Amino acid sequence: MFRILSLAAFIGFFVYTAWKLKRDLHMMQQNSYRNERYLKWFRGSPGKHVRLRDLVPALALVPAALDYPVIAASLWLFIYVLLFVWREKVREKKKLVMTKRAARLYAVALALALVIAAGAGHVYFNGFGGVYGRFLIMLVLVPLNIFSFVIMLFANRLLAPLEQANNNRYFRDAQRIVRQMPSLTVIGVTGSFGKTSTKHILSRILSEKFNVLMTPGSFNTPMGVTKVIRTMLKPIHEMLVIEMGAKQKGDIAELCRLVSPRYGILTAIGEQHLETFKSLENIKNTKFELIEALPADGLAFFNLDDPNIWDLVPRSPVKSITYGIDHQDADYSAREIKLTPRGTGFILRTCQGEEVPFQTKLLGRHNIYNILAAVAAACELGMDLCDVARAVQDVEPVPHRLALKRTPGNITIIDDAFNANPVGSQMALEALAAIPGGQKIIVTPGMIELGEKQYEINKEFAVNAAKVCDYIILVGRKHTKPLQDGLKSVQMPRERFYVARDLADANRHLQTLVRPGDVVLFENDLPDTYNE
């Protein structure tokens, strides 16, 4: 009887821990299977992961200490069953994807947990160390359950060499595939912002004349691009447009080793990911790795309006093509920009002095830059300017990137949920101000990963939003503190803003106040790891 009870107690512990490990796995996946990132994120908001209720099984320590092993085991089992039955069900925005890698990692973590639980059960039943042994076992297991991610981190470390070997194999295979297609033209797009939109616009324009493959979604890491090449690149493709993301030095250079780009577009440089890069200089040099990797007959495209890029242009080892709005001397420039609820119009001028009117459904000044970059590249690839203009008219906004939508209830929605940087946010506010309509409403959780300036930038954003908006909904209580401070500093009346618990709460509140004719901006949308 006691044997069965001991066994059941530790199975109960194992099952609840297994469930917790699955959540740890999810967060591990969101942190790109990098232990150091996981820990950093954990330090950033430990409250998200550590639950006080998981301390309750420690109650069993009392009977264990008083040498009532049967009562202790029963109580322990009872509590863990309850914890499991009443486990929280969180609705995640970005679901766990059970890839082979995730499955491997989960299996190893479960095996570790099982060994620990079984070992503990064995010691408990046999009474090694007597009352102290039992007490000690429980004393160790309770925190181990609370900090279950330690098991996950350990499993991840164990698997690291295997995963590395796997990745290297795939990487080399993708490299081989690209080299087997000598007529394939590869265009790399990088920058702190605008790269996804530029990639979309360029691909749409090029598809008028060529068979184009672009990296979908945010497959912008070496492993992501490797997967795209191995599964989506077909012999029919003539152009490959690759978005290149960087979180640390060397990331872009590695991507270039993979795909050997001939054309490189540097959209803009800003303080995105400043936290991991430490300095603006590091960001610049990392983005410039793309230009350094171009072959002698390659072309580099630069946004001349970005002062962070000025000192990079003369450093370019290949021919440079520039674009800009403020700099009318750029090779490709735009002027007479007009913003309307239907989109944007402007006049484009090429280095040959050709002038063509452009019309687009896209909003915002930053999209003009994205269009200019794409137009410049398409023209240098031999496309006719009129074909290009026609294609630009058909470019659809990227979902969640300043995408203009209208609901049947005649509410205009600017969906900018995927944005997360100060410059983009300011542009979204400008678009919100420019569109005629009833109330101007913003729904936002603010911005993250901005390093030491994070507080200041968010506060300033709130101040600017207050100038434009009739109503402000902040999503989340804790991390919107800087925004709340910003609103207070400009004496935003309490009845004109609301601090929502989460996105669902924000939406509920929004529905109570929105009226036909209003314009609503959804600005930024933090990953689950920040739903606090």
Partner 1 sequence: MKIRVGVFFGGRSVEHEVAIISALQTIHAIDQDKYQVIPVYISKQGIWYTGDLLLDVDNYRDLDGLLAKCKKILVSHNTGEHTVFNYPQGMFRKNILEQIDVAFPVMHGAHGEDGCLQGFFELMGIPYVGPNVLASAVGMDKIMLKAVLRDAGLPVVNDSWFYAKEWLNHREEIIGKLEKELGYPMIVKPADLGSSVGITKAAGREELEDAVELARHFSQRILVEEMIVDLREINCAVLGDHEETEVSVCEEPVSSSDILSYQDKYLSGGSSKGMSGTRRRIPADIPEKMTHTIQEMARKAFVTLNLAGVCRIDFLVDAKNGRVYVNEPNTIPGSLAFYLWEPVGKTFTQLTTDLIDIALKGHREKENLVFSYESNILAVRGSKGIKK
Give the x/- contact pattern for partner 1 in 487-506, rule: CB under 8 A. Answer: ----------------xx--
Residue 211 in the binding site for partner 1 (CB under 8 A): yes
State the nearest-atom distance from the C-beta of 86 to partner 1, in Å.
Answer: 23
Going by DSSP bridges, is the β-strand pair 343-349/355-360 parallel, antiparallel, or unpaired? antiparallel
Residue with Cβ nearer partner 1 (166 or 207):
207
Alpha helices in 381-516 (DSSP H): 385-393, 422-434, 454-468, 481-489, 503-513
Interacting span for partner 1 (CB under 8 A) from 116-124, 145-153, 204-212, 356-364: 204-212
- Edge-first strand listing for the sheet containing 319-324: 212-214, 239-243, 185-190, 263-266, 299-303, 319-324, 332-340, 343-349, 355-360
Going by DSSP bridges, is the β-strand pair 519-523/412-416 parallel, antiparallel, or unpaired? parallel
Residue 512 in the binding site for partner 1 (CB under 8 A): no
Contact between 441 and 414 under an 8 Å Cβ cutoff? The reply is no
Residue 514 in the binding site for partner 1 (CB under 8 A): yes
Q: Which of 18, 59, 136, 177 lies at the binding interface for partner 1 (CB under 8 A)?
A: 177
How far, in Å, CA of 212 to CA of 185, rounded? Answer: 10
Provide the token pair at 22: 């699955």
State the nearest-atom distance from the C-beta of 234 to partner 1, in Å.
Answer: 5
Residue with Cβ nearer partner 1 (183 or 352):
183
Residue 410: helix, strand or coil by DSSP? coil
Give the x/- contact pattern for partner 1 in 65-94, rule: CB under 8 A. Answer: --------------------------x---
State the nearest-atom distance from the C-beta of 511 to partner 1, in Å.
Answer: 6
Interacting span for partner 1 (CB under 8 A) from 233-241, 253-261, 371-379, 456-464: 233-241
Residue 520 in the binding site for partner 1 (CB under 8 A): yes
Residue 517 in the binding site for partner 1 (CB under 8 A): no
Q: Is the dihedral of CA 139, 145, 151, 153 positive or negative?
A: negative
Give the x/- contact pattern for partner 1 in 382-401, rule: CB under 8 A. Answer: ------------x----x--
State the nearest-atom distance from the C-beta of 373 to partner 1, in Å.
Answer: 20
Give the x/- contact pattern for partner 1 in 128-167, rule: CB under 8 A. Answer: ----------------------------------------
State the nearest-atom distance from the C-beta of 394 to partner 1, in Å.
Answer: 7
What's the distance, CA 228 to chain centroid? 18
| Helix %, strand %, coil % of the chain (to 5) | 55, 15, 30
- Edge-first strand listing for the sheet containing 403-406: 403-406, 412-416, 519-523, 440-444, 471-475, 497-500
How far, in Å, CA of 222 to CA of 251, rounded? Answer: 8
Q: Which of 290, 330, 411, 447 lies at the binding interface for partner 1 (CB under 8 A)?
A: 411
Residue 344: in which H helix or E strand, if any? Answer: strand 343-349
Q: Which of 328, 407, 488, 496 lies at the binding interface for partner 1 (CB under 8 A)?
A: 407
User: Among 185, 275, 195, 279, which residue's Cα sits nearest to residue 233?
Assistant: 185
Residue with Cβ nearer partner 1 (83 or 205):
205
Interacting span for partner 1 (CB under 8 A) from 118-126, 255-263, 454-462, 514-522: 514-522
**Residue entry with tokens 């398409």:** 378
Q: Which of 207, 276, 285, 426 lies at the binding interface for partner 1 (CB under 8 A)?
A: 207
Q: How many binding residues for partner 1 (CB under 8 A)?
A: 28
Interacting span for partner 1 (CB under 8 A) from 16-24, 53-61, 175-183, 468-476: 175-183
Alpha helices in 66-129 (DSSP H): 69-85, 100-126
**Residue entry with tokens 């004496």:** 491
CA dist 291 → 209, 244, 262 (Å)? 26, 12, 9
Q: Which of 28, 244, 334, 413 lies at the binding interface for partner 1 (CB under 8 A)?
A: 413
Going by DSSP bridges, is the β-strand pair 440-444/471-475 parallel, antiparallel, or unpaired? parallel
CA dist 200 → 100, 109, 189, 401, 523 (Å)? 29, 39, 10, 11, 20
Q: Which of 81, 144, 181, 448 lies at the binding interface for partner 1 (CB under 8 A)?
A: 181
* Near partner 1 in 326-385, by CB under 8 A: none
Q: Which of 285, 507, 509, 527 lies at the binding interface for partner 1 (CB under 8 A)?
A: 507
* Near partner 1 in 448-477, by CB under 8 A: none
Going by DSSP bridges, is the β-strand pair 263-266/239-243 parallel, antiparallel, or unpaired? unpaired
State the nearest-atom distance from the C-beta of 503 to partner 1, in Å.
Answer: 7
Residue with Cβ nearer partner 1 (176 or 278):
176
Residue with Cβ nearer partner 1 (5 or 377):
377
What's the distance, CA 83 to chain centroid? 32
How far, in Å, CA of 462 to CA of 456, rounded? Answer: 10
What's the distance, CA 403 to chain centroid? 18
User: Among 433, 410, 443, which residue's Cα sits nearest to residue 521?
Assistant: 443
State the nearest-atom distance from the C-beta of 516 to partner 1, in Å.
Answer: 8
Q: Which of 23, 204, 440, 459 lies at the binding interface for partner 1 (CB under 8 A)?
A: 204
Residue with Cβ nearer partner 1 (152 or 214):
214
Residues that bind partner 1 (CB under 8 A): 91, 177, 180-181, 204, 207-208, 211-212, 234-236, 394, 399, 407-409, 411, 413, 417, 503-504, 507, 510-511, 514, 520, 522
